[in-house]
A and B are shown apart, each in its own frame.
Chain A
Amino acid sequence: MENVVVESTEMRERTRLGMWLFLASEIMFFAGFIGAYVVLRTIQPATTPGHVNPFDDLGHLNKWLALVNTVVLITSSLTMALAVAAAHRGDNKAIAKNILITMVLGVTFLIIKGFEYNAKFQADHFPSTSVMYACYFTMTGFHGLHVLIGILFLFFIWLFAMRGRYSVNRNVGVEVTGLYWHLVDVIWIFLFPILYLL
């Protein structure tokens, strides 16, 4: 009975455009943090006998865990794209399978991030430790929150797909959730080099 519902082309376009507008606001939200980070880091003089550059501590961040997390998120973007492609075919089984893999990868990302945070807390590094750690925890913390919210949305999409809700004419929910998940990946693509590598 549920598959009788049909989304018009106009309704789907409006929904996607609305999501893109929301993503634009999300981009600006993170742009503020990244802009502040670039400025704060650039204006710090190099470490001298009279001054310690707090951003020297960036070398203590675990870049290999972050690299693994980058691979995890990029792979989850691929499985999300496959889920959206399956939604366009109305293949609920393939949607559920790919969404489940995406969720598992999202949870893996958060677990790895948890290990990374734990190591920092064990070493007495908190957001109040220095301007560098304030930047690090704020940016990765808000990004992690977005991953968590994305996983919650994915869970509902997975539930609906298991119940056979989606069809060729009813799939915009999967599309917009996919857009949100890809944005989470894009934000990490920027955070990874500026925090861990450069």
Chain B
Amino acid sequence: MSSELAHTPHETQMKAYMAVFITLMILTGVTVGASVLGHKMNWNRQTAIWIGLAIAAVKATCVALIFMHLKQEQRIFYVVALFPFALIVVLITFTLGDLDRWIYALVPG
């Protein structure tokens, strides 16, 4: 990565950093906007959480690719970085898919 980054012109690199910074700020505003909209339109909890996580995932990708220079790294770095996210998807989706039984256990009466 370092050799490729060293060959990246300083100005190009600064522009990329600023672009990511502005994108992150805009997406933070979008997250707040989605929250306000969700409360007004009474989205169900699961929908709201998934929308919040989706926007957060886009922001995290921007940080990883540009700020953490993952874009310039070799393939093995992508494998290491993405593997835990694959596990997280399995962890959360499988557990959420199994929730019906637990919800009834919690309903009073």
- Residues of chain A touching chain B, judged by Cβ–Cβ distance below 8 Å, are 9, 12-13, 16-17, 20-21, 23-25, 27-28, 31-32, 34-35, 38-39, 41-45, 48, 50-51, 63, 67, 70-71, 74-75, 77-78, 80-82, 84-85, 88-89, 168, 175, 178-179, 182, 185-186, 189-190, 192-194, 197-198
- Chain B, interface SS category: helix
CB-nearest residue of chain B to A44: B106
What does the 1/0 interface line of B14-58 toward A look like (CB < 8 Å)? 100110110011001001101100100000011011011101100
- Chain A, interface SS category: helix
9 pairs of A and B residues whose beta carbons are closest in the complex: A193-B52, A197-B35, A27-B84, A198-B48, A50-B108, A31-B88, A81-B67, A51-B108, A198-B52
9 A-B pairs (CB sep. < 8 Å): A39-B92, A39-B95, A39-B99, A42-B99, A67-B28, A189-B56, A190-B56, A193-B52, A198-B35
Give, as a whole number of angstroms, the nearest-CB distance from A118 to chain B: 24
Residues on A with C-beta less than 8 A from B69 are: 84
Q: How many residues of B contact A (CB 8 A)?
A: 59
Give, as a whole number of angstroms, the nearest-CB distance from B7 to chain A: 10
In the bound complex, do residue B96 and residue A38 qualify as a contact, i.e. CB atoms below 8 Å apart? Answer: yes
Residues on B with C-beta less than 8 A from A67 are: 28, 32
Q: How far is the CA of A198 from the CA of B52 in the complex (A)?
A: 7
With A39-B99, A193-B35 known, 20 other A-B pairs at CB within 8 A are A16-B1, A16-B73, A24-B80, A24-B83, A27-B84, A27-B88, A28-B87, A31-B88, A32-B91, A35-B92, A38-B92, A71-B25, A74-B21, A74-B24, A78-B17, A78-B67, A85-B10, A88-B2, A179-B68, A193-B52
